[in-house]
Chains A and B, each alone.
Chain A
Amino acid sequence: GAGVSQTPSNKVTEKGKYVELRCDPISGHTALYWYRQSLGQGPEFLIYFQGTGAADDSGLPNDRFFAVRPEGSVSTLKIQRTERGDSAVYLCASSWLTGGEQYFGPGTRLTVT
């Protein structure tokens, strides 16, 4: 079966623009996590979903960041008014249950110029 997929793999945008990053989890996985990874660092927790609802969004840096998972499967991370400091790799992971084994996608590399 297919693993976690993320699109696009690379995104270059200008400062101030809006971007959407998509995550397709493994079919049947109820938990979905978003992380941000800067160069030379470990992944930093942003938000996680249990089903359709955002169970914990305490890691979102500010209100420019928002994520949805309307049907409990695909999730979209949305960033408004992008800033150069938003440049990083955005990782998505899914698991059968909250706190279980996470399967990661390859990430989306976001570059804000």
Chain B
Amino acid sequence: TQLLEQSPQFLSIQEGENLTVYCNSSSVFSSLQWYRQEPGEGPVLLVTVVTGGEVKKLKRLTFQFGDARKDSSLHITAAQPGDTGLYLCAGLYNFNKFYFGSGTKLNVKP
């Protein structure tokens, strides 16, 4: 059973389009992290959100943590081919253990 559900699983879009990836759970997390992973490499942290309702922006990426700290979203504006990769959310449970979602595989076509 996956503690964190991500949707969509796959996303193939044209350069310049916008997209949103969702991360949902029935559990409350101390914080939530978003990672990007490329083939053959480990995940790389993009952002950590801690407070319910928090919104963080990283250039063209906007991250939101739900008010109840059970869900999160990642919005990318004007996607570029360099954004291609596997996007993972990870919730911090009991302040010590991370549970990862199943990932969203994004392909941005030039």
Contact = CB atoms under 8 A, between A and B. Distances in A.
Give the interface size bracket for A toward B: 20 to 34
A21 to B, nearest CB: 14
Interface in A14-73: 33, 35, 40-45, 48, 55-56, 58
Nearest to A93: B42
Interface residues of B, number: 25
B92 A99 contact: yes
Majority secondary structure, B binding face? strand
A45 B93 CA distance: 11
B82 interface: no
Contacts of A43: 43, 88, 90, 100
Nearest to B105: A40
A104 B37 CA distance: 10
A101 B48 contact: yes
A44 B42 contact: no
Given A99-B31, A104-B43, A48 B48 contact: no
Contacts of A55: 96
A39 B64 CA distance: 28
Interface string B18-46: 00000000000011010000001111110
B96 A56 contact: yes
6 contacts: A4-B42, A55-B96, A58-B97, A99-B96, A104-B43, A107-B42
